Amino acid sequence: MTGLRKVLVANRGEIAVRIIRACRELGIASVAVFSEVDRAALHVMMADEAYPIGPAPSAESYLAIDRIVAAARASGADAVHPGYGFLAENASFAEACEAAGLVFVGPPPAAIRAMGDKTAARRIARDMKVPMVPGTVDALPGDDAALAAARDIGFPVMIKAAMGGGGKGMRLVHREEDLPAALRMARGEAGSAFGDASVYLERALLEPRHIEVQVLADAHGGIVHLGERECSIQRRHQKLVEECPSPFVDAVLRQRLGAAAVRVARAAGYVNAGTVEFLVDADRNFYFLEMNTRLQVEHPVTEMVTGIDLVREQLRVAAGEPLGYRQADVAWRGAAIECRINAEDPFAGWLPSPGTITGLRAPSGPWVREDSGVCEGATISRFYDTLLAKLIVWGADRPAAIDRMRRALGEYRVVGVRTTVPALARIMDHPDFRAGRLSTAFLDRVMPELAAAGGEHEAVALVAAALAHHERMRGSALDGGPAPAAAGGWRWAGRAWRTP
């Protein structure tokens, strides 16, 4: 039990459900907020109370600071948990919560502002003697400055949003003549996503690993790192598969990465859970990328390996409690893998697949965990992120975790929308993944063969469905009964395609 009585969860989907569950275990009442299209969402049904905050567009609901603060006041909540995405890394939101007398379950506004501005974060990393990818320290004032900086850095370069992450506002540029158009697109995307169109440049590292370190700090000076996560398998700069520990990181590199992450967090005056991200090359040289001032989507793999409940710790720290353990007390056991179950068609350019979930069966068994934000009958809206659920497994070692994940993906059933399940299953089977030969270019490299396999499975499923339908029709005719509906076979075809 913490000193918090009631927490408003300023989010939706699986992370809202995750936080509500943690609150329940701690004896804390939970308050959900919802847009018009989320009225019947799982997080709304699970919370002790729920308040409407506006229409479907995020700008009018989940990004509306005044409406969320008003809901917190109306509910009598004494704290607000932002989850991830939406307002989680918005210093103005944290300040608005504090001004309203609400505890913000996250870092202080000053730390959010310092690390949320990626250029300011790079300055902190530089001052802490943490290696960085060569690039601009300040946001670029215009195209001429960008061109001069790119020539100085050397192509290829990566354009990045100064005030956000998650793959938005990023563009890889190989040639000088492509830079102006890429800048326009990156600035437009950054402005839309984060309300700030500022961008900066970094030298593009080709095929590095994306490895991040989880840190946890209290308000009493205590700070620890909880090891690394391998997040190299990405599509469009957004993570798809994460694991802990990284198959590439040895004890020496883990210590160096952890020490660098702690230095950065301490310099920023950080409190609560946060993640310091690095790019790592084939020679195990690492470079500071950014710090995410929030709970990460992939936090469960760290929980599975360390036994530390990160959301519970967030709530404890926000209530003013000390961590209660030191770095030497943190231990890692076994291996954990997380797969993101998104409502997307992986074999059609990862296009979103909105619709209604008409059938759903999650896998289970020893050391299998599903963090889901949906249930059967849920409507997947085009207005929000495509993440439906996260499937997490633990194994005594990495091969055991891979085998368990492959089995769990084979049991996953989602009917009504396309999902990433078939692609994830084939990733688990791929020899490069099993051997730990990973980089941020992994998916681009292997996707053609995964797509080819997907086409074969779909063709087989359609033939099987047609044959099954024929046999059912034939059997009904022999029995003299009515012919069954033709839709049944096609429904099974879709299901078979989703689960190879």
Average pLDDT over every residue of 119-126: 92
In three-state secondary structure terms, 165 is coil
Tell me the per-residue pLDDT of 444-460, one tens digit each, with 9 for 90 and over. 999 998 988 755 455 44
Q: Where are the alpha helices (DSSP H) in 128-194?
A: 143-153, 179-194
Average pLDDT over every residue of 99-108: 99
pLDDT beyond 70 at 184: yes
- Closest by alpha carbon to 51, among 8, 103, 96? 8
**CATH placement of domain 6-105:** 3.40.50.20
Residue 452: per-residue pLDDT = 83
Q: Which CATH fold would you assign to the domain 134-203?
A: Dna Ligase; domain 1 (3.30.1490)
Residue 5: per-residue pLDDT = 98
Tell me the per-residue pLDDT of 36-79, one tens digit each, with 9 for 90 and over. 999 999 999 999 999 999 999 999 999 999 999 999 999 999 99
Which of 14-23, 128-137, 396-405 has the least mean pLDDT? 128-137
Average pLDDT over every residue of 436-449: 95
Alpha carbon distances (Å) from 384 to 35, 51, 62, 85 = 11, 19, 10, 11
Contact 406, 425 (CB under 8 A): yes
Amino acid at 415: V
CA 274, CA 218: separation in Å to the nearest integer?
Answer: 11
Question: How does residue 1 score in pLDDT terms, banded at 50, 70 and 90?
Answer: low
Tell me the per-residue pLDDT of 364-379, one tens digit each, with 9 for 90 and over. 999 999 999 999 999 9
Residue 116: per-residue pLDDT = 86
Average pLDDT over every residue of 299-316: 99
- Catalytic machinery residues: 294
Contact 97, 24 (CB under 8 A): no
Average pLDDT over every residue of 240-267: 98
Superfamily of domain 209-447: ATP-grasp fold, B domain (3.30.470.20)
pLDDT beyond 70 at 24: yes
Average pLDDT over every residue of 270-298: 97
Higher pLDDT, 237 or 318: 318
Residue 496: per-residue pLDDT = 29
CA 474, CA 480: separation in Å to the nearest integer?
Answer: 10
pTM recorded for the entire structure = 0.86
Residue 195: per-residue pLDDT = 81
Amino acid at 432: D
Please give the span between the terminal C-alpha atoms of the chain, in angstroms, as a whole number: 44
pLDDT beyond 70 at 278: yes
Q: How many CB atoms lie within 10 A of CB 376?
A: 13
Residue 492: per-residue pLDDT = 30
Residue 473: per-residue pLDDT = 59
Contact 454, 426 (CB under 8 A): yes
Average pLDDT, the chain: 92
Residue 493: per-residue pLDDT = 29
- The domain limits of the chain are 6-105, 134-203, 209-447, 452-498
pLDDT beyond 90 at 408: yes
- Closest by alpha carbon to 360, among 345, 385, 346, 380? 380
**Percent of the chain surpassing pLDDT 70:** 90
Question: How does residue 481 score in pLDDT terms, banded at 50, 70 and 90?
Answer: low
CA 264, CA 3: separation in Å to the nearest integer?
Answer: 29
Contact 73, 95 (CB under 8 A): no
Question: How does residue 479 score in pLDDT terms, banded at 50, 70 and 90?
Answer: low
pLDDT beyond 90 at 495: no
pLDDT beyond 80 at 363: yes
pLDDT beyond 50 at 488: no
pLDDT beyond 90 at 494: no
Average pLDDT over every residue of 273-284: 97
Residue 168: per-residue pLDDT = 84
Residues contacting residue 430 through CB under 8 Å, at least 6 positions apart: 446, 450
